[in-house]
Structure 1
Amino acid sequence: MSASHLHQLIAALPLQRGAGEPLFRQLYAAIKAAILDGRMSPGMQLPPTRDFCRLLAVSRQTVLNAYALLTAEGYLDGAVGRGTFVSRDVPLPVSASAPATASGLLRPLSARGQGVVAAMRQVAFHRGPLRAFRVGMPRIDHFPFDVWNRLEARRWRRPDHHFGYSDPAGYLPLRELLCVYLKASRGVQCTPQQIVITSGSQQALFLLSTILLAPGDSAWMESPGYRGASGPLRAAGARVFPVPVDAQGLDVAYGVAHCPQAKLAYVTPSHQMPLGVSMSLPRRLALLAWAAHNKAWLVEDDYDSEYRYTGAPLASLQSLDRAGCVVYVGTLSKVLFPGLRLGYMVAPPALADALVQAKAVMDRHTAIVPQMALADFIAEGHFGRHIRRTRDSNAERRDLLVRGLARELDDQLACGPADSGLELCAYFRAGHDEETVSRAALARGIELRPLGHYADPAAGPECATPSGLLLGFAAIPPDEMAHGLQELGRILRGR
């Protein structure tokens, strides 16, 4: 490169005077970029610092500082009396002539990567402000954030050895308290050593799918069912086998007849997602017998069992397990608030250590301060009071929705089970297209979740999902709920 071309290149280096970043850092970055993209080639001699100052109208100290940083990182070589050169050890830039993939990636994702990405494409995520009838959302304004802030602040003021790397299984005092709570509220039989704290139940489902299944293994999945669970199964390379759900829960006999070789079954026995039914005792016993006989794993997702409005919470499937085949998965997103991202697994004793090691591979351990604050929150009685308060609030809003549906839409919708959870399903009495209704509602500021969203596209006619909607109520204020019901009525009646 001629001296004149080099001077033009230097004069064109982008510097923003008055910016927050010092000029020497900007100059360092500009020269580094010119070297890496080949505009300044290995072995090229740079002008003396005084010439550099004149071309860019900067101080000599600015140039000297930039040169020093580039030399320290190996981009420049130089010595007094010899000059400054682009290092010959900097490799030539990679040619950009290779054709790009259709997605713009340097090369296609691996088959495993494509499976992981594709697995969650059908999962609906919350977007925009809260509105009727968003599903899966607890009532956050009831949470005692002032208490939580105080508990966290107390922990930050007294850091201890736990602020280093922690046990991948989770904060032991929290696991001990959860052990007591789960025994009392859900009949779960466990020790603290069987509990693994996770970053939400979604991480638990991914860990279980990854370490319990080999690519090609079959897994039963409720249909309709929670798409956030079928995603991890597919990401692990499993063959997801849809099993129908009726008024008694998962149809175990159907699964045994059509896919007896499955290595795992995912179930929501206490409150089926999305139909809201509870698995009957005969079905629970049949499922446990099949799993024990076939050495299959059962993943029990108990995502909102705290919110049962008629009688005490149902006993867990895990409490009936005598073969060590049930992994109990719980979340605190529905009880406290979703942004906390805390969940847990209760594993059979023989599986617990493997899950701890797998957890350590994924993220070493879940953030420790929220675990410590939660342990204090439980120990001081705030957890129990919060559950009682939110259960009463949810029951009131459930009653408002049920009465509103009967008053405004009884000729259009029939309510499904409404004795637990944060939402209820409503079936169309007349022929309506779910997607058409949902799009029309969204245009009017209402968020509806079609029941068809939870259906497995590969499921046969035996798994046909009834036509209807899943309506959330826990987080929806009464005025917003009333408005949503009125607008939904207009839509369904074609107004």
Structure 2
Amino acid sequence: MTTSKTHDLSPLDPSAAEPFYRQIYERFRSAIASGLLKPGDRVPSARALTQELGLARGTIDAAYSLLAAEGYIQARGQAGTIVTPGLKPRTPATVAPPAPDTATSSIGFRPQSILPFQMGLPALDEFPRKIWARLGARCVRAMQPLDMTHPSVYGQPALRAEIAAYLQVSRGITCAPSQVFVTSGYRHSIELVGLALLKAGDRVWLEDPGYPPTHELFAQMHIATVPVPVDAEGMVVAEGIRSAPRARAAVVTPAHQSPLGVSLSLQRRMALLDWAGRHNAWIVEDDYDGEYRYVSRPLPALKSLDRDGRVLYAGTFSKVLFPSLRLAYLVVPQAQVERFEQILQTFAGGSPELTQSIVTAFIQEGHFARHIQRMRKLYAERREATSAGLASVLGKHVRIDALPGGMHLILRLTGRQSDRKLVARMREAGLFAEALSEWTQSGKGTSALLVNFTNIDSRATAEKLGKRILALM
């Protein structure tokens, strides 16, 4: 199997000698040269990329002007900016095509409902359903007999290519489509990692507090989990090394930790990568809500710093589109592609072809990038409105953490009130929250509520809901 790789680029680096516009130029040129961006493909508008990267508009314009001057891209007015049709990359592309196909957590953790403050739900009222319906109808009409056979267990090739191109530009991750595997969700991705790279009796670091289903999944696979505390700089890597230096893997949420929202510092990122390289361990990067950051520029993916092929990158469409899609993806190191193909041939049935086709069209026509930009702006507004509304009603009873990103708030309870008992009363009253103490492996810790703000449409709504919570305290 040939190695598929473009330039081994690092993400936008403020300390680099190259200015930002040059780094952006190199990132796009690499994506075009490798075939991840093909002639005729749409690229983000300068305005959208300005918001995505948090840079000055002039920086983006300088990069795009250089790309246009060298013939890589063309502006088509209202049709947007595209990779120049008929372009023959100046650097020979070495990306190999995708290989041909060959042949639980506790009930109710994510209920099938839409309740105020319900965790894990994007702004469903703002999803572009008309566009989605139009694309869906078109994909149905275009179906051929081959599309009605068994789906690829690796994922539809076109979708894998679109994901690889998106990650190259937006997250600084250099990967070939063959490294991208489409899964049915985060839990499926973790299950594949366990089946492919781990065995019963292995030990895995988990953030504490952290996403509860991860611990439960590994327990079902008879893999021991080691709770590693989290502070203001993210996972305390030194504590993980002290507790279990020979652990086989670590699962982290470096962009903003789930659920505390802190970012893994650069020093700890490098320490984690160093540990994995020295001990031949694996790092699973769960890019938890990585698209939604409201303070400063979006942070680079940990995977973009990986030089030893130890990081597996897990992403999902549940938060950026909607959960019932049941579509996620896992990017694996090039050396592990064949191993994951073997596992998928045995344990996976493939995701629905029609669903993948609609998502592919949604990305190709630019709706995906525009939707993320709209939601980032909307969520910043709803985050502020929800925080202000709840604080005005519950100010004496809670302290609200100002998280830099994500889709939820942390309401830390004052006094000795039990978060679990309050959550139970809220559920009975038709409200949703999750108890922070239930996200720790010990079941102890600060008493706090986790509440989602994406479906709270105004400060007035937040105040009304806050009064209902107050009555339950």
Gapped regions of structure 1 (runs ≥ 5): 1-118
Question: CA RMSD, aligned part only?
Answer: 1.7
Q: Secondary structure at the match of 1:486?
A: helix
Q: Tell me, what secondary structure is at the counterpart of 2:379?
A: helix
Q: How far has the Cα of 1:210 moved from its partner?
A: 2.1
Question: Per-residue displacement from partner, 1:219-267 (whole Å, max 9, x unpaired)?
Answer: 1111110012122211211011111111111110001001111001111
Q: Secondary structure at the match of 2:358?
A: helix
Equivalent residues of 1:299, 1:326 under 8 A apart: yes
Separation in structure 2 between the aligned mates of residue 139 and residue 388 of structure 1, nearest angstrom: 13
Q: Which moved more, 1:175-184 or 1:284-293?
A: 175-184
Work out the CA distance in 2 between the residues paired with 1:163 and 1:354.
Answer: 27
Distance 1:467 1:132, change over 3 A: same
Q: What is residue 469 of structure 2 aligned with on the other side?
A: 488
- Give the residue type in structure 2 aligned to 1:363: A
Does the CA contact (< 8 Å) of 2:248 and 2:282 recur in 1? yes
**1:382-461 matches, cutoff 5 A:** 382-457=367-442
1:226 is aligned to 2:227: no
Residue 355 in structure 1 maps to residue 335 in structure 2: no
* In 2: Cα distance, 1:274 partner to 1:285 partner: 22
- Give the residue type in structure 1 aligned to 2:464: H
TM normalised by structure 1 equals 0.71
Q: Which amino acid aligns with 1:390?
A: M
Post-superposition offset of 1:473: 0.6
In the TM superposition, 1:307-326 aligns within 5 A as 307-326=292-311
How far apart, CA to CA, are the structure 2 residues paired with 1:237 and 1:439? Answer: 31
For residues 405 and 414 of structure 1, the distance between their equivalents in structure 2, rounded to whole angstroms, comes to 10
Matched residue, 1:142: 126
Q: Which moved more, 1:358-367 or 1:308-317?
A: 358-367
Mark the CA change 1:158 to 1:122 in structure 2 (over 3 Å): closer, same or farther.
closer
Q: Which whole-Å CA distance do the structure 1 matches of 2:350 and 2:107 have between them? A: 29
Could you list the structure 1 runs, at least 4 aligned residues long, displaced by more than 6 angstroms after superposition. none
Q: Which amino acid aligns with 2:472?
A: I
Q: Is the 8 A contact 1:434 1:469 kept in 2?
A: yes
Give the number of equivalent residue pairs: 368
Within 1, Cα distance between the matches of 2:404 and 2:435? 20
Cα contact 1:275–1:424 (8 A) shared by 2: no
Paired residues of 2:436 and 2:449 also in contact (CA < 8 A): yes
Q: 1-side partners of 2:468 and 2:349: how far apart?
A: 48
For residues 207-246 of structure 1, the aligned pairs below 5 Å read: 207-246=192-231
SS of match in other structure, 1:269? coil
**How many Å separate the matches in 1 of 2:114 and 2:190?**
27
SS of residue matched to 2:445: coil
**CA shift at 1:394, angstroms?**
1.2
What is the TM-score normalised by the length of structure 2? 0.75
Inter-CA distance 441–166: structure 2 relative to 1 (3 Å threshold): closer
- Cα offset, 1:490, TM superposition: 3.3
CA distance in 2, matches of 1:354, 1:195: 13
| Mean Cα deviation higher: 360-369 or 157-166 | 157-166
The alignment status of 1:302 with 2:287, answered yes or no, reads yes
Aligned residue in 2 for 1:132: 116
Whether the 8 Å CA contact 1:218–1:238 is kept in 2: the answer is yes
| 1:264 paired residue number | 249
1:148 touches 1:373 (CA, 8 Å); kept in 2? yes
**Gap regions ≥5 residues in structure 2:** 1-103
SS in 1 for 2:173: coil
Q: CA deviation at 1:295?
A: 0.4
| Per-residue deviation, residues 115-150 of structure 1 (Å, max 9, x unmatched) | xxxx523771325x4222211110112111221222
